[in-house]
Structure 1
């Protein structure tokens, strides 16, 4: 009897997740449409939606249009995105970005602190100050308040613990445990590139197989296979930045030599630019010099595109995705880099893969972080918040 009750409960939870996912996906929908999409009978859908309305996760929006045959007009429902908030961080080696969002991922408040060293000694104080400031923006009338905190780490994460960070020492700190001492809020840490892939799969693409290539202090690839994040053993999937580009090449903090990210990450390109020109290792300076046809800047951008094309080619051969999203501040400022990369991809393996500049841009990591917290809170296997067609 106990097993039957457990099975019945699990089936009910699964059906509730299926119904809620469809309501979120379509934005405005009737009970009859939900029943048709899910294959559940109308009585079950009515029972589940009544529960979701009681939980204030769904709200009735009024009557829809009737059919040509007449009859009762359907009552439309929608997701109550203001029922709670998520708080999201992108911890770079020299900046901290954050966002407070509703449960549909829309930003309520954002902050960015930059041009300083992030390390294990200062990060907890910084996080606490930002969390407290964002929490003050949460409406007291919100049903669930702050439902989760997700932190993007530029390194390897396994089982919600930071295990390797090449450009700062946060792997020497258990951020989840430390925040747990201060707040009774679920905390998730995740690799930054993985979160950009989750963001693309949630907010901009309905492809089942995608890769998001994140090019900043290092280079990482978030991989979505069959609509699910692929993390590999010990969370090391997608560490394309540490694939060998040149054997016995430049040393890398990972212990290898000649890693891809030592030649075409944003950090590597800016440092090379500064060393060769004596100018500041700043993005706006590089862009300005590139537009002025500075030969060093031109050469570095051309080399960056060539080196990235090798990484892209390897990703295509390994994962055969439908789309590869490139997320890079340099590429956003110099979009012609995308054409340069494509010009180096002549293999027949490359021709059916779309290579696109991420529309989510610098906020992709924060969007992905929000999606992770939202999915956990709502107990959803997948979440579709792509822009609805009007």
Structure 2
């Protein structure tokens, strides 16, 4: 290993410490990493020149006295990222500082279902999220589909795979672009925005279809073909049909909406489903029974195969009708003989955007696999 390699490793380790421990001091970083003070001081100077750290004043001296240490912060506002998701009828966009703090979050409708129209909405949304007085450092795009080597392999919107999405966005904004499966990004958000170290977790997305993102041994697991977690394709008997039925067809929010639309003969929204559930409408109860059965199958598989520390669910139906989840947990208690940690996501559409923020920021800082502590907070934008 040559000196330049060792120097770069030391630089990245120092940057990681400042990112995670901000505010900190040069002396504390040197002690934590076992580096000489001169090495750390030189690296801090370089990080200052790169606008990644800044001094904020003096801290308290130790009990034995001596000079007060100079405290240094990670400069989260050295730049920002824009993190997006292509939905069925809209594009979600979030602007974040480099520590993950949320600057702004908006939804932009799409004019049609074609991929070209969705990409136009994506481009317009990113343009509207740009800040005037700060540097855009990177863009992430969450999609409902499989991604390998930063290229779309397949997507729910079949024609989306016909576009080199990364090249399309990079050519317009001239910054690094990462595209990833939306459930995988939600799993990264569980790990990187947690207040404690997470070694194993599963993010279950039930929006347009069923998808699972998994953290195993602290890292995202996507499988040989980058299609791990595509459990919505699995078919089972006993889900409202005499034939084997795919979980996607009964177990997603969109499936519930589609099935009730067919039964009622008119467009249906989540508020309708909640109202009909409260009124004990027979059609609604039957559709939701199959939804619950599908969710029980999904969670049984996850808990028995991977035994994660926590499972986080993202679903508009479950947020509207939280009473559905305890009934599923009762079923699981007969299958899993230990306490289980199942939570609802804080919101229905933030986690995959936060995961995208963590992924692209790690790429920008060249810290792809180390533990980083991102901030889940909302802050005002720059003027």
TM-score normalised over the length of structure 2: 0.90
Equivalent position of 1:358 in the other structure: 345
Unaligned runs of 5+ in 1: none
Contact kept? 2:240, 2:290, Cα under 8 Å: no
Give the Å deviation of 1:239: 0.9
Q: How far is 1:350 from its partner?
A: 5.6
Aligned to 1:73: 68
What does the per-residue CA deviation read over 1:126-163, in whole Å, with 9 as the maximum and x for residues that have no partner? 2222222222x241xx3xx1111111110111111111
1:218 aligns with 2:209: yes
C-alpha distance 313-123 of structure 1, shift in aligned 2 (>3 A): same
Q: In the alignment, which residue of structure 2 is the partner of 1:187?
A: 177
Shift of 1:326: 0.9
The answer on whether the counterparts of 1:209 and 1:227 sit within 8 Å (CA) in structure 2 is: yes
Residue from 353, 356, 361 that aligns with 1:374: 361
Change (3 A) 1:350 1:258: farther
Take 2:284 and 2:20, find their aligned partners in 1: how far apart are those partners? 44
Q: Distance in 1 between matches of 2:221 and 2:266?
A: 40
Residue of structure 2 in register with 1:202 after alignment = 192
Instruction: Tell me, yes or no, if structure 1 residue 239 matches structure 2 residue 230.
Output: yes
Partner of 1:127: 122
Counterpart CA distance in 1 for 2:261 and 2:36 is 65
- Off by >6 Å, runs of 4+ in structure 1: 247-251
Other structure's SS at 2:303 match: helix
Distance 2:132 2:297 in 1: 45
1:11 aligns with 2:1: no
Change (3 A) 1:18 1:161: same
CA drift of 1:348 comes to 5.8
Measured on the aligned residues, the alpha-carbon RMSD in Å equals 2.5
Deviation at 1:281, TM superposition (A): 2.0
CA distance in 1 between partners of 2:163 and 2:110 (Å): 22
How do 1:1-390 and structure 2 match up within 5 A? 7-114=2-109, 117-135=112-130, 137-139=131-133, 142=134, 145-204=135-194, 206-246=197-237, 258-347=245-334, 349=336, 351-380=338-367, 381-382=369-370, 383-385=372-374
Q: In structure 1, how many angstroms separate the alpha carbons of the residues matched to 2:192 and 2:327?
A: 28
- Stretches of structure 2 that go unaligned for 5 or more consecutive residues are 378-383
How many Å apart are 1:342 and its aligned residue?
Answer: 1.0
Query: Post-superposition shift, 1:317?
Result: 2.1
**SS of residue in 1 equivalent to 2:174:** coil
TM-score (norm 1): 0.88
| Preserved CA contact (<8 Å) 1:90 1:96 | yes
The secondary structure found in structure 2 opposite 1:169 is helix
Task: Work out the number of aligned pairs and report it.
Answer: 374
Q: Distance in 2 between matches of 1:245 and 1:332?
A: 25
Indicate conservation of the 8 Å contact 1:306/1:340, yes or no.
no
Closer, same or farther in 2 for the Cα pair 1:356/1:50, shift >3 Å? same
Would the aligned equivalents of 2:100 and 2:375 in 1 still touch at CA under 8 Å? Answer: no
Distance of 2:26 and 2:313 partners within structure 1: 39
Shift of 1:386: 5.1
Distance apart, 1:44 and its partner CA: 2.6
